[in-house]
Amino acid sequence: MKHKMLEKFGEVFGNTEEAKVYFAPGRVNLIGEHTDYNAGHVFPCALTIGTYGVARKRNDGILRFYSLNFEHLGVIESSLEDLVFQKEADWTNYPKGVMWAFQEKGYTIKQGMDLLLFGNIPNGSGLSSSASVEVLTGFILRDMFQFSVSNQDLALIGQFSENKFNGVNCGIMDQFAIAMGKEDHAIFLDTADLSYEYAPIKLEGAKIVITSSNKKRGLGDSKYNERRQECETALAELQEVIGIEGLGNLTIEQFEEYKSAIKDPVRQKRAKHAVYENQRTIQAKEALTANQLALFGQLMNASHVSLRDDYEVTGIELDTLVEAAWKVDGVIGSRMTGAGFGGCTVSIVKDEAIDTFQKVVGENYKETIGYEADFYVVEVGNGPVVL
């Protein structure tokens, strides 16, 4: 891959002198959905698929971007003087946003760059292609200009750029999972204070299978921000009766005791999901650590039901995939992952059932939805690296 990337960089930008090759992973969240902006826990892991980048410094302030995923767009030019969000800048708003965020945080970028990217994360799938590009860009800037920032800082800068530059009110999970990834481990992250621990993923005789619904979903124009607002309002109502910082602070018992403070039944359902999902995630981490894979799978299934019924972010595509998966022998657990409204499901499937799983779920999906789903049997990988 490194050789191929350098070759393409030479074709696009003239030569490969002083160019370096980098990689940042994608991520999948095993459980803990829509908890990361509710002061709850999440349980993601980095993947071995992700975003490759070739970059080199320029002697001027020009920025030249090229993506092998959007070759029809050609080279998109910008400059360090022009770090503003523009619709016509398309995907380059993500790397530009990170450069802007570094400048906002007091790191001076004195030279432009040529940057060529290739991602093998399915675009719009909910496996965090945008966060992968953000962490990759931050990692490149750190390496190029020797900025004194940690991987955790790269995650926070990536989130800041997505919130403030690209206008998507995302939580910290995606960038954190990508920047802090560790091979064969999931990250049990408390989003309230960013304390975390690594939990070994021991899936003897099983694999993580990601199924892409191939329904494209843009976070910014989905109902993501609306759900977030509903939770914030519910939290404010609860704060009138109990001293909490976020919905993730509540136990199930406390929520049931105080939920009548939430005036609207829809908001009550949203808050219920945030509280119950957080508790499921804590249990799931304990189950995985104790090697209780069957219990872990049951918690995944319950997570999907809650996302479907209480949070209402699944939709027919994801429900079709998950409900078909549940019927296949050898499926330990299956749920939607990511923001919802399209994107992907994550399933833990016994090795001997993987072919049947793909056949049964694939046929069922095509028959119901009218187009095909794609399957990815994935490995759990590390954070960003220089190749």
Residue 138's nearest CA partner among 219, 55, 36, 37 is 55
DSSP letter, residue 48: E
- What gap in Å lies between CA 46 and CA 29, rounded to an integer? 9
Assign a CATH topology to domain 2-201: Ribosomal Protein S5; domain 2 (3.30.230)
Output the pTM of the full model. Answer: 0.90
Q: β-pairing, 113-119 with 44-57?
A: antiparallel
- Residues (pLDDT < 50) of the chain are 220
Q: Is 72 exposed, middle or buried (0-12, 13-18, 19+ CB in 10 A)?
A: exposed
Q: Determine the pLDDT at residue 17.
A: 94
The pLDDT tens digits for 260-277 are 999 999 999 999 999 999
The pLDDT tens digits for 68-77 are 999 999 999 9
Q: In sequence order, what are the beta bridge partners of 206?
A: 350
CA angle 21, 27, 30 (to 5 degrees): 160
Q: Determine the pLDDT at residue 199.
A: 94
The pLDDT tens digits for 120-171 are 987 656 667 899 999 999 999 999 999 999 999 999 999 999 999 998 878 8
Q: Determine the pLDDT at residue 171.
A: 81
Residues of the chain with CATH 3.30.230.10: 2-201
Residue 160's nearest CA partner among 236, 88, 97 is 97
Residue 54's nearest CA partner among 129, 148, 117 is 117
Q: Determine the pLDDT at residue 342.
A: 85
Amino acid identity of 141?
L
Give the DSSP H or E segment for 163: helix 151-164
DSSP letter, residue 249: G
Active site residues: 174
List Cβ neighbours of 49 (8 Å cut-off, separation of 6 or more): 25, 26, 120, 121, 127, 376, 378
Residues of the chain with CATH 3.30.70.890: 206-378
Give the DSSP H or E segment for 41: strand 41-42
Q: Determine the pLDDT at residue 215.
A: 84
CB atoms near residue 268 (< 10 Å): 18
Q: Determine the pLDDT at residue 124.
A: 59
Assign a CATH topology to domain 206-378: Alpha-Beta Plaits (3.30.70)
